[in-house]
Amino acid sequence: MSGAAEYVSFAELGRVVGVDDARTLLAALGGGRFYIPRAINPDHRIAKLIGMSQGMVLCRHFSTGIGGLWVELPRGETGMFEAYREQLRALASDASLSEQAIVRRLGVSGRTVRRMRAKLRKENQARQLRAASQA
């Protein structure tokens, strides 16, 4: 398939089929595009993942009136990236941890750690400048 697909957030998917079924769909199909038809049969992969009744709820929600819809799902739940960034920020601000320790712990590159530490230094300098100018 080429062209655009409708992006569906985890929050929207959860409202349509429930959080548990949304997680099931993300685990199997997250990060990619797939087609949601107007209707499914029991052998369709959506029915196999979340059941026929919930699959039909999903189809009705995304039906365009003339057919189904290509959708793109996120790789994970909303907030997962923010949680990762906060963990990276916390570890990078810990001067007792080496760059390699953070790399091994989070599975990121050394460049990612260096960039976060540079960002933290810049934020700290800006905070100090504001404090000095207000004094």
Task: Please tell me whether the overall predicted TM-score, pTM, comes out greater than 0.85 for this model.
Answer: no
What DSSP element (H or E) covers 113? helix 110-134
Residues 103 and 47 in one domain: no
Q: Phi first, then psi: what are they for 34, rounded to 5°? A: -155, 160
Out of 36, 51, 72, a domain closes at 72
16 in any annotated domain: yes
Out of 72, 88, 114, a domain closes at 72
Tally the domains of the chain: 2
Residues 25 and 64 in one domain: yes
In angstroms, the first-to-last Cα distance of the chain is 60
45-87 confidence digits (pLDDT tens): 999 999 999 999 999 999 887 888 999 988 877 656 777 888 8
Q: Which domain holds residue 96?
A: 80-134
Q: Which residue has the tokens 């819809």?
A: 69
CA proximity to 44, closest of 20, 68, 74, 66: 68
| 115 vs 65: which has the higher pLDDT | 115
Residues 13 and 66 in one domain: yes
Residues 19 and 66 in one domain: yes
